[in-house]
Structure 1
Amino acid sequence: MQWNVNELENWEELRSFVDTALLPIYLYREGKEVSEHAWRMNYLLNVAAAIEQKLKGRVLLYPVSYHFAEEQLAQQTPEGFNFCVLLHFRGDRIRAVEPEQKSNLLMLPVGDEDLESSLRFEVTVDVLYKEIIRHWQQRTSQ
């Protein structure tokens, strides 16, 4: 489920099935052209959307959270979800605010090499969505 009016119309009836919040986080860094930032942020959003499609029915994909890298980023996670997944580029320093949810929080870094490659994109999505499933299985078996 994606964060838009059409999909959220049925939120109340689907809420009990959606147990995972997926939050893509983009950090703006000095030294890159605006077009490169747009390309990178779009790539991150496309990875998140592809993961959501593979896990449709259990995941609510939030809009991209955009921050400046110089900020001390402490990402708050939404309440009411059994699991929370923060998706970000490798090397970004992000921490979650709620340490008590740490066991159900999954930080997934996305590599930023070769962003034009469709094969690299497919492999990235495949690896990350399987990592979420593994995380679910580990947490529910405990």
Structure 2
Amino acid sequence: MQWNMNEFENWEELRTYVDTALLPLYLYRSGFSVDEHVLRMNYLLNVAAAIEQKLKGRILLFPISYQFVDEQPAQKLPESFCFHILLHFRGDRIRLAEGMENGVLILPVGDEDLDSAIRFEVTVDVLYKEVIRLWQQKRDQ
């Protein structure tokens, strides 16, 4: 489920099935041109949307969160979800608010070859399997 009006019309019916929040996090840092930032943000959003599509019905994809790397606060997570998945670019240092570590999966996305369709598909495949692994670990406990 994505964070838009069309899908939120069904939120009340689906809320009992949606136990996972998918939170793409973009840390804005110097050293990239505006074009590169746009490409990177778009890529991260597309990866998140592809993961949500593969796992539709159990995940709510939140809008992308933009933060400046120098001013990055501790990441807070929405309540009422059993699982939280933070999606970010490899090399970004993600800090969680104190006491938020349970049920959190932090998934790094590589930033090489962002225009490669094959790399995109492989990235999505690897990451969505990590989400399934998280769910299976919880079930097995």
Matched residue of 2:57: which SS? coil
Q: CA-to-partner distance for each residue in 1:97-142, whole Å, 9 max, x for gaps?
A: 142x423100000000111100000000000000000011001211
- My pick for the range that moved more, 31-40 or 68-77, is 68-77
Cα distance in 2 for residues equivalent to 1:98 and 1:45: 26
Structure 2 residue ranges without an equivalent (≥5): none
Q: TM-score, normalised by structure 1?
A: 0.96
Count residues with an aligned counterpart. Answer: 141
Distance, in Å, in 1 between the alignment partners of 2:43 and 2:98 is: 27
CA contact (8 A) 1:3 1:60 kept: yes
**Distance (whole Å) between structure 1 residues aligned to residue 40 and residue 97 of structure 2:** 25
TM-score, structure 2 normalization:
0.97
1:71, CA displacement in angstroms? 1.2
RMSD: 0.9
**Runs of 4+ deviating beyond 2 Å:** none
Tell me how far apart the structure 2 counterparts of residues 15 and 98 of structure 1 sit (CA, whole Å). 26
| Cα separation, partners in 2 of 1:98 and 1:52, compared to 1, 3 Å | farther
Structure 1 residue runs without a partner (length 5+): none
**Contact residue 23 and residue 85 of structure 1 kept, 8 A:** yes
